[in-house]
Amino acid sequence: MENHRTDVGRRVALRREQLGLDRATVAERAGVAPEYLRYLEERPASPSLASLTRVARALDTTVAELSGAPAPTGTPPAPPGHREGLSVLDEDTCWQLLAGHSVGRIAVETPAGPAIVPVNYALDGRALVYRTAADATPAQVAEADELAFEVDHLDEAQRVGWSVLLVGPAHPLTDPAEIRALGRRLAERDGQPPTPEPWAGGERDLWVRLEPTRVTGRRVTHL
C-alpha cells in the first residue's frame, strides 16, 4: 500500500498523526467522508482544490504544505524578522501594490442604500483616477466628501493575501484642459495602459479623481 501513496497522501497522514487525530475526526472537521480521507492518504488520489483546502483547514495547515507547492505570488515578501500572521503595510508598499493592479472597488452611497462596485483605475502620482458614465453608480461619489477605495489580492486556498485602502475626497474632472493633461501623463507611464479602460465598455466620459488623505494596508501570511 505504501508504494501506491502520493506525496500529498503521505503529508496528510503525517500531519494527522502529528495532531493525534483519527480519520473520523478529521473527516468530520473537513466535511468529507472518512472513506475519502482514507483513499486520499493511501491511494494515488488527485483531490480537487476545494477538497484539499477543507482537509488542510481541518489539519490546521495549508494546501501549500500538503502539496509541497511554493508560496503563491502576488503577496509582497515579509520583512526580515517578520512573524507569520497579520502585519501592517507602510504607505510606499501600498502604492507599489496599487501600481501593479488596475481593478479595485469603491464604496458608494446610492438612493437604494450603500453599494460596493468595481472600477478600472490608474494612478496619477499619488492620486487615483477612474472613468465612468455620468449615470453609472461610480459617478454617484463625484460630490462625496470622502470616498473609500480598496484593492486586494487574496488566495483563499492558502489563506494569504493583502489589501490596501484609500480614503479621501473625490471630485469629477470637468476642465477639458485638465483632462487632456491627465491623458498625456497617463500615456507617458512606462509599462502601464495609457488609460484605465472600463471592462463594461460603452461611453465612459466622466473622470473622477481621488486624492487620498489616508492610505492603509494589511497583509496576512501563511496562517
The enclosing domain of 196 has a CATH number of 2.30.110.10
The enclosing domain of 34 has a CATH number of 1.10.260.40
Domain assignment present for 72:
no
Segment 34-54 mean pLDDT:
82
pLDDT at 214 over 90: yes
Q: Identify whether residues 94 and 31 lie together within a single domain.
A: no
pLDDT at 189 over 70: no
pLDDT at 80 over 80: no
pLDDT at 70 over 80: no
Model pLDDT, residue 73: 47
Name the residue among 223, 190, 203, 18 with its Cα closest to residue 99: 190
pLDDT at 81 over 50: no
Q: Which of 104-113, 142-151, 195-204, 214-223 has the lowest mean pLDDT?
A: 195-204
Number of domains in the chain: 2
Mean residue pLDDT across the chain: 79
Q: Which of 77-81, 114-118, 138-142 has the lowest mean pLDDT?
A: 77-81
Domain assignment present for 209:
yes
pLDDT digits (tens, 9 = 90+) for 18-31: 889 999 999 888 88
Q: Identify whether residues 36 and 98 lie together within a single domain.
A: no
Q: Identify whether residues 61 and 102 lie together within a single domain.
A: no
Of the two residues 217 and 81, the one the predictor is more confident about is 217
Residue numbers of the domain that contains 8: 2-67
User: Which cell numbers hold the place of 102?
Assistant: 488596475
Q: Identify whether residues 8 and 108 lie together within a single domain.
A: no
Q: Identify whether residues 55 and 160 lie together within a single domain.
A: no
Model pLDDT, residue 42: 86
Q: Identify whether residues 14 and 120 lie together within a single domain.
A: no
Q: Identify whether residues 139 and 179 lie together within a single domain.
A: yes
Q: How confident is the model at residue 212 (pLDDT cuts 50, 70, 90)?
A: very high
Domain assignment present for 74:
no
Model pLDDT, residue 23: 92
Model pLDDT, residue 145: 66
Of the two residues 142 and 137, the one the predictor is more confident about is 137
Q: Identify whether residues 18 and 106 lie together within a single domain.
A: no
Q: What is the pTM of this model?
A: 0.57
Q: Identify whether residues 22 and 114 lie together within a single domain.
A: no
Q: How confident is the model at residue 92 (pLDDT cuts 50, 70, 90)?
A: very high
Q: How far apart are CA 143 and CA 208, in angstroms?
A: 10
Q: Identify whether residues 102 and 176 lie together within a single domain.
A: yes
